[in-house]
Amino acid sequence: MTHYLFIIVGAVLVNNVVLVKILGLCPFMGVSKKLETAFGMGAATTFVLTVATGASYIIDHYLLMPFGLEYLRTLSFIVTVAAIVQLTEMVIQKVSPVLHQVLGIYLPLITTNCAVLGVPLLNVANKYDFVESLLFGAGSSVGFSLVLVLFAGIRERIEGAEVPTYFKGTAIAMVTAGLMSLAFMGFAGLDKYQ
Amino acid sequence: MIIALAVMALGAVVLGAALGYASIKFRVEGNPLVEKVEAILPQTQCGQCGYPGCKPYAEAIASGEAEINLCPPGGMDGVRKLADLLGRDAKPLDAEEKPKQVAIIDEQTCIGCTLCIQACPVDAIVGAAKQMHTIVEPLCTGCELCIKPCPVECIVMQPIAENLDNWKWKYPVIDIKRAA
Amino acid sequence: MLRNLFKFKGGVKPQTHKAPSVRMPIGEAPLPERLYVPLHQSIGGIPDPVVKVGDTVLKGQRIGAADSWVSSAVHAPTSGLVQDIAEHVAAHPSGLTTLSVVIEPDGRDEWLPREPVDYRALAPERVREMLRDAGVVGLGGAVFPSHAKLTAAKTVPVEHLVINGAECEPFMTCDDMLMRERAEDIVRGGAIFRHLLQARQVLIGIEDNKPEAVAAMKAAVAALGEDHEVIAVPTRYPAGGAKQLIRVLTGKEVPASKRSTELGVQCFNVATAYTAYRALAHGEPVVSRIVTLTGNVEEPRNWEVRLGTPMRDLVALGRAKADTARFLMGGPMMGFEIPDLAAPVVKATNCLIAGTPAMFPAPPPEMPCIRCGSCAEACPHELQPFEMYWFARARNFGKTQEYNIFDCIECGCCGYVCPSHIPLVQYFRFAKSEIWAREREKQAADAAKARFEWRNAREEREQAEKAERLAKAAAARAAKPAVTVSAAVPDSAAASVPSADGVALPPSTDADAAKRATIAAAMERARAQREAVQPKNTEPATAGQRREIAAVEARRAAVVAGTPEQADAPKRVEDA
């Protein structure tokens, strides 16, 4: 059990997908202007990423590996993730319009999110089994949502701050993201207690 | 090689079929995004964006056909809100920004042709054939659509003056202390 | 009995500066040369003028009638001639104009026959109507129509009626002097409110820095044999805020979403109680109020001033000193600067302060917010001003609402304690009025959208009907030639090609004559109908409509006057 706990804590904090692995920066910058949208994006990503890790694991183990087609991983993962996202969006829109209101406009954005592709590839690289893959996927996406919401909260405040003209907008956001990244590096110290 | 092609082809066919089936099975009419966009537009129905009314423009924006900076009555404020909603970049407005206005008919000149009544998108002009027309000011959106049809050019736009009802407290002037 | 008092959170203790203006009794301000009585002097609807230019009015005659429930009548403050009903500068920070009745006093100051009534003998609804028509509004400064506050909640009986004599603003002493000199009328007014609300107990709260007022009120209560309780409350600004005083006296905290009546409490200012009593027991509507004139004047004093008196005339009574730079209406905490002393004294004018640069120095430069939290500690409504400030500054108005900016009473405590000298209240006023403006715009947009959609639907329907009519006409035409063909001359050309104007070619002279007869008959009918029609829309327009028409005419005149110039402009450009 501790093993699973380490995977989750590691994915959420120590190896945070955005701030340490530097993946999924487009939505991190793009939809962090408001707290509400950040929540929506976080929820949507958590959902898609968990599903995508599961699906990728199945594709990898039951389709690619038996035929020795590991070199097609990137391609087939992208196609699968894209298809799953589209499918999910359609189903949600039909089944639960309320949920679609919340997640709707973010789902298509996730299709080409590098975090969503990167995490399944990391799973393969780490040789995780199915449960571990799912946990790592879920943990990564929770980590993603966490920093996205934190970052959105900070950015809402930056709006009111007196930022030097040339740093306004994305520039100061990048600086902030860098500082947050530095802060998250501090979690690397958790390793000592392993 | 052939196996690779076959596997990828199989994947493509399966996923494509699933998506195709889903798009028929889970078809939903209407686009919620259109409503959100329309809520931001000022509903003057002026057509200055090149679309016949605010809803068609909202549809065009939602489908990605139209730029978001075509609405002069919405002003730069409106462009910014649309940019926020859609995650696009705020562009400068594609026209001059004007203060809010209402149309005024000079009744001495009006010949009662009803052309402006037909042009008004919000039924803010009252009058009948060969009778003087006048504008119901609270309903006028300042769209200027009635100006062109008037054959005697008796309609002018008048900026809405500040009064006690629409007066606003101003943003406090910040007097930052200068470094000596 | 020593009553257990409660505390409200926050608040500040500024210098009171009350002593100078209580040395002299309330003076009667003389009649000014001209009175400018604004029609809109209370929260709510704008009263309609019920007098015409050239009318002679008596003191107390109604000149503006309440146009809705939340609205209050306006009366002539003296007898005289209505010279004009026109825009005049308002007692408002903007210095904009408002529709005012200009009265030239005749000097006789003759009352309209006053009819005292016994409120106990009347139905409560009738009493409320009478208060509305007497122009009784909250004279503490909020000017909310009092009759609208005099209805108890259906489910909760009114436990406490609070009469507010706290008067926490520095400089202001009008309520203090009123309580000292006219205590009995206030107590009787409290009894009226109590009767209307069926309140169990009346609590009169007075700040403990006004011992004379407390003594006078206690004496009055004893003399009249009422069981009102006069309570001295600790002096701390803003103890006179309705919610704060309710908290101090009853321990009840009124939540943002509720009215105090829902908790069984209602609160009125002492001056309001006084005017309510005068209105009912003496038949005197609100035509004057007590105004503190203080600050940098030779003779600080309270004056009973007729509403509509230009502030300049009032200031002349106290002889402002030479170095006076500006005038504040209301206290230094919540008041605002009067841009033009031509503005009249209105029901909200409780105090006029002449200020010098030394008394009210220009605020030191605003420094950055250091989030020290002093403002949150001082806020009597337990808000977080530093958060609201941050988002108001960034124009993120949605967030300011999340921090409950609309619960802010703009008391100014936060700005008073701010070590960075940030004018916090100004930011909140700015944010509030922006939010209101946006709300108005949103409503206008929704209305325009609804009208546009309705118009489109109508056009579609009309087109469908037209198409249907055309189809029917075509069908009729198709049927008719068939009949004529079989009955009369077989004219295939006429049958297959109907003439361009839609009338089938005359098949015979008989039919032609018949048709002409029908047309003649129809014309005759139409003529008869025309004669029978009575002219419509002839009833005189209401005052509100007349006013609107006048405003439109004025704007139109301005436009017409401006048009030739505009037309000339391009020509001149071409010439050049």
3-state secondary structure chain B: CHHHHHHHHHHHHHHHHHHHHHHHHCCCCCCHHHHHHHHHCCCCCCCCCCCCCHHHHHHHHHCCCCCCCCCCCCHHHHHHHHHHHHCCCCCCCCCCCCCCEEEEECCCCCCCCCHHHHHCCCCCEECCCCCCCEECHHHCCCCCCCCCCCCCCCEEEEECCCCCCCCCCCCCCCCECCCC
Contact C271, C163 (CB under 8 A): no
Q: ipTM above 0.90?
A: no
3-state secondary structure of C288: strand
Amino acid identity, position C292: T
pLDDT tens digits, residue range B26-48? 777 667 778 888 888 888 888 88
Chain B residues with CB under 8 Å of A72 CB are 4, 7-8
What are the boundaries of each domain within chain C? 19-337, 374-435
Cα gap A134→A8, rounded to integer Å: 10
> Radius of gyration (Cα) for chain C, nearest Å?
33
Q: According to the model, what pLDDT value does residue C492 have? A: 47
Tell me the C-alpha distance between C67 and A36, whole Å.
Answer: 43
B19·A83 Cβ contact <8 A:
yes
Rg of chain A over Cα atoms, rounded to whole angstroms, equals 17
CATH 1.10.760.10 fits domain B32-86: no
Q: What angle do CA B44, B33, C450 make, to 5 degrees?
A: 35
Residue B174: its pLDDT value, please? 55
Among the listed residues B103, B108, B143, the one whose alpha carbon sits nearest the alpha carbon of residue C557: B108
What does the alpha-carbon distance between residue C244 and residue C232 come to, in Å, rounded to a whole number?
14
Q: Which residues pair with C229 in a beta bridge?
A: C203
Confidence check: pLDDT of B177 > 50:
no
Report the C-alpha gap between A93 and B28 in whole angstroms: 7
Say what angle helices A130-158 and A114-126 make with each other, to 10 degrees: 140
- Cα-based angle C167, C173, C179 (whole degrees, multiple of 5): 80
Reference C98, options C335, C343, C356; nearest CA is C343
Radius of gyration of chain B (CA): 25
Residue C382 has pLDDT above 50, yes or no: yes
Would you call C399 and A157 a contact, using CB atoms and an 8 Å cutoff? Answer: no
State the Cα–Cα distance between residues C132 and C147, nearest whole angstrom. Answer: 6
pLDDT 10s digits, C450-494: 999 899 899 999 999 999 999 999 998 888 765 555 544 444 444
Nearest CA in chain B to C566: B156
Strand partners, C306: C288
Q: Which of B43, B108, B174 sits opposite C366 (nearest CB)?
A: B174
What percent of chain C is modeled with pLDDT above 70? Answer: 89
HEC states along chain A? CHHHHHHHHHHHHHCCCCCCCCCCHHHHHHCCCCHHHHHHHHHHHHHHHHHHHHHHHHHHHHHHHHHCCHHHHHHHHHHHHHHHHHHHHHHHHHHCHHHHHHHHHHHHHHCCCHHHHHHHHHHHHHCCCHHHHHHHHHHHHHHHHHHHHHHHHHHHHHCCCCCCHHHCCHHHHHHHHHHHHHHHHHHHHHHHHC
What average pLDDT does chain B have?
A: 84
CB A141 within 8 A of CB A98: no
Nearest to B106 among C426, C444, C556 (CB): C556
Is B84 in the A-facing interface, judged by CB distances under 8 Å?
A: yes
Residue of chain B whose alpha carbon sits nearest to that of C87: B163
Residues C50-67 have a mean pLDDT of: 92
Residue C135, by phi and psi: left (phi above 0), alpha (psi -120 to 50) or beta? left
Q: How far apart are CA C575 and CA C552, in angstroms?
A: 35
End-to-end CA distance of chain C, in Å?
89
How far apart, in whole angstroms, are the C-alpha atoms of residue C570 and residue C182? 69
| Chains touching chain A, criterion 3+ CB pairs below 8 Å | B, C
CATH 1.10.15.40 domain span(s) along chain B: 32-86
Q: Would an 8 Å CB–CB cutoff place B87 in contact with chain A?
A: yes
What pLDDT, on the 0 to 100 scale, is given for residue C572? Answer: 42
Query: How distant is the Cα of A44 from the closest Cα of chain B, in angstroms?
Result: 16
| Mean pLDDT score of chain C | 86
Q: For chain A, what is the largest distance between any 2 Cα atoms, rounded to a whole number of angstroms?
A: 59
Q: Is the per-residue pLDDT at C508 higher than 70?
A: no
Length of chain B: 180
| Token digits of residue C301 | 């004093």
User: Where does residue C54 fall: left (phi above 0), alpha (psi -120 to 50 degrees), or beta otherwise?
Assistant: left
Residue-level pLDDT at C506: 46
Question: Which residue from A63, A67, A93, A104 is spatially nearest to A80, judged by alpha carbons?
Answer: A63
> What does the block give as tokens for A52?
């995508």
CA C454 – CA C461 distance, rounded (Å): 10
CB contact under 8 A, B171 and C430: yes
Closest CA to C376 of C13, C15, C6, C9: C9
> What is the number of other CB atoms lying within 10 angstroms of the CB of residue A193?
5
Q: At what angle do helices B32-40 and B54-62 cross, to 10 degrees?
A: 130
Residue ranges of chain A with per-residue pLDDT less than 70? 102-105, 191-194
Asked if C396 lies within 8 A of A162 by C-beta distance, the reply is no
Q: What architecture is domain B101-159?
A: 2-Layer Sandwich (3.30)
Residue of C nearest to A160 (CA): C394
Domain C19-337 annotated CATH 3.30.360.10: no
- Residue range(s) occupied by CATH 3.30.70.20 in chain B: 101-159
Calpha distance C436→C438 (Å, rounded): 5
Domain boundaries, given as residue ranges, for chain A: 10-187
One-letter-per-residue 3-state SS of C93-146: CCCCEEEEEEEEECCCCCECCCCCCCHHHCCHHHHHHHHHHCCCECCCCCCCEH
Query: pLDDT of A97-114, one tens digit each?
Result: 777 776 666 777 777 778
Q: Do B122 and C366 lie within an 8 Å CB cutoff? A: no
Element at C74 (helix H, strand E) = strand C74-75
**Selected residue with higher pLDDT from C550 and A165:** A165
Would you state the pLDDT for residue C387?
93
pLDDT at C516 > cutoff 90: no
Q: Is the CB of C368 less than 8 angstroms away from the CB of A162? A: yes
Share of chain C above pLDDT 90, in %: 62
- Is C366 in contact with B121 (Cβ distance < 8 A)? no
pLDDT band at C78 (very low <50, low <70, confident <90, very high): very high
Q: Nearest-CA distance from B87 to chain A in Å? A: 7
Query: Mutation test of the interface with chain C: which of A35, A154, A159, choosing the one with the most C Cβ atoms within 10 A?
Result: A159
Q: Is the dihedral of CA B126, B127, B129, B132 positive or negative?
A: negative
Q: Which residue of A has its CA nearest to B12?
A: A79
Predicted confidence (pLDDT) at residue C573 exceeds the cutoff of 50: no
Length of chain A (residues):
194
**Least reliable range by pLDDT among B168-177, C261-270, C318-327:** B168-177
Higher-confidence residue of C220 and B48: namely C220
Neighbors of chain C with 3 or more C-beta pairs under 8 Å: A, B
Residue C126: pLDDT band by 50, 70, 90 thresholds? very high
Partner-chain contact A159 C368, CB within 8 Å:
no
How confident is the model over B104-141, as pLDDT tens digits?
A: 998 888 888 889 998 898 889 998 888 888 999 888 98
Q: Which amino acid is at B58?
A: A
Q: What is the DSSP letter of C147?
A: G
The DSSP secondary-structure symbol of C59 reads B
Among C368, C393, C396, select the one facing A156 at the smallest CB separation.
C396
Higher local confidence (pLDDT), C502 or C126:
C126
Return the pLDDT at C536.
Answer: 56
Residue type, C72: S
- Structure confidence at residue C545 as a pLDDT band (50, 70, 90): confident
Q: At what angle do helices B32-40 and B75-86 cross, to 10 degrees?
A: 160
| C561 confidence band (pLDDT: 50, 70, 90) | low
Distances (CA, A) of C100 to A130, C49, C175: 81, 9, 27
The single residue listed with the structure tokens 């007497």 is C134
- Three-state secondary-structure class, residue C63: strand
CB contact under 8 A, B15 and A79: yes
The pLDDT, as a whole number, for residue C575 is 42
Hey, what amino acid is at A79?
V
Q: Considering only CB atoms, which chain C residues are within 8 Å of B38?
A: 449
Nearest CA in chain B to A90: B26
User: Would you state the pLDDT for residue C207?
Assistant: 94
